[in-house]
Amino acid sequence: MSTGAVLAGFRVESLIGEGAMGAVYLAEDTKGGRRVALKVLAAELARDDRFRQRFLRESQVAAGLDHPHIVPTVASGEEDGVLYLAMVYVDGCDLRELLRRHRRLEPERALDLLGQVADALDAAHAAGLVHRDVKPGNVLVTETADGEFAYVCDFGLARHVSSVSSLTGERGFVGTIDYVPPEQIEGGAIDGRADVYALGCVLFECLAGQRPFERESELSVVFAHLNEPPPRISELRPELPEAFDVVFATALAKSPDDRYSSCRELIEAARAASRGKVLARRKRRRPLVLAGIAVVAAAGATVGGVLATGGASTTAGPPEITQTAIDGARLGLPAASYDRLFGERGRKDVFNMPQFNVDIFGDRGLSAYFDQGTDRGIIVTTWNKNFRTAAGIGPCSTIADARASYGSAFRPSSHSTIKGKVYAYLLGRNLVFAANGKPPHPSKYVTAVALYDGSAPGADKPGGTVAYAGFVALSETNCR
């Protein structure tokens, strides 16, 4: 864009930087005169329908984040086919530039800056948003009267630019793989502990002056994230207490369950380590999930009963996912009924191919899709990992656990099978479980669940209800 050009009410002043995702401009809000950092995404991204829909949806979620250490999103959207994200302009440098200048930081300074970052990330996690691209380039630092002040930026792009496709696609996104957790590489379930891993990598670099897995090729870096233990930082900086080795062994654990449960807990452990102390990790309480449809069969349950309820009950209350409803939301209701059911007004959006209206209830991790002719709910989806069938299967469950629970009743959908790779599974007549991943690698996890009317005429034919429900589920937000 040229100087003086106006996009979505922002007048371009100068180019700040550009890369594979697009360009960043210093711009002025023509209404209020405020200076903003205007990110204009590459044209090929705007032409990708799936990317565009997710960007528009999740940038709205990011705009709702209100935290002193998160760069506020001023506006985002699409104008004349151009995707943009406008953020408050921060006059300073990023952490990458600080590391270029100093190579490494002393523990007190590193922990002060990253402690602010940790608070911002935990606040985002509490709002249901995982950054997924925590790296020095996304941490802005400015000087204030009280010292250095850190901001986290790019929440509106996080989900997209650090997906598995970022590691293998044409654009490459150089640098991201140095901080990416194993489950993100594998296309598995992602939650806040992915950001804990990435923040651990950034802290390691701040203290050691090098990334934890520096290798000659990107493939070697990916392999190290998946298979190699983190180096002992006490061998790189002998003057640091050995307690730091425990911190990084925990923060960079391959399994999310073995990591710190929050970014703040990581920083607290690192502060203790700087004093030579090892802080015990707080254990996460995990629900017990029993897999065993055979137990139900032995008790004399019929196949119909298993499918109607989802299997043997392992939850304290009634299951949120059944053959007739998700979180109490049945099909066929008007939009106002879903608003009343969830006590909030769903954010309105449009789902392409075809143009179906959708209401998104972000707090519930649930969406309702509506028929154009009657404005009645025809599909309900969820990516909420707390929602389960009676057998304990739902978003973020492994496909292996689902198979173990349901056996042959958990069957591949022919409409979502590509070159022998299964991307969605059917359960009973009305449920589809998506395993969204970049071809040719379906996810090992259930990424979303969709409820649809499998009894509709021609439901199982190409282009019918089953195929469309699978398409919607695979296009939905992945579980978190």
Residues annotated as catalytic (active site), given as ranges: 133
The span from the first CA to the last CA of the chain, in angstroms, equals: 36
List the structure tokens of 100: 């270029």
Of 381, 389, 378, which is closest to residue 308 (Cα–Cα)? 389
C-alpha–C-alpha distance, residues 266 and 461, integer Å: 51
Please give the sequence-ordered ranges of beta strands (E in DSSP) within 72-211, or none if there are none: 73-79, 82-88, 93-94, 139-144, 147-152
Give the alpha-carbon dihedral of 364, 365, 371, 377, to 10 degrees. Answer: -40
Of 181, 157, 378, which is closest to residue 266 (Cα–Cα)? 181
List the structure tokens of 308: 């109607």
Q: Is the peptide bond before 238 cis (omega within 30 degrees of 0)?
A: no
- For 417, residues 6+ apart whose C-beta sits below 8 A from its C-beta are 423
C-alpha–C-alpha distance, residues 8 and 77, integer Å: 9
C-alpha–C-alpha distance, residues 17 and 39, integer Å: 9
CB 113 within 8 A of CB 215: no
List the structure tokens of 283: 């254990």
- For 350, residues 6+ apart whose C-beta sits below 8 A from its C-beta are 356, 357, 358
C-alpha–C-alpha distance, residues 105 and 115, integer Å: 14
Maximum distance among all alpha carbons in the chain?
74
CB 138 within 8 A of CB 120: no
CB 261 within 8 A of CB 279: no
- For 78, residues 6+ apart whose C-beta sits below 8 A from its C-beta are 46, 52, 56, 84
In a 3-state reduction of DSSP, which class is residue 320? coil
- b/e per residue 408-421 (b: at least 16 CB within 10 A): ebbeebebbeeeee
In a 3-state reduction of DSSP, which class is residue 264? helix
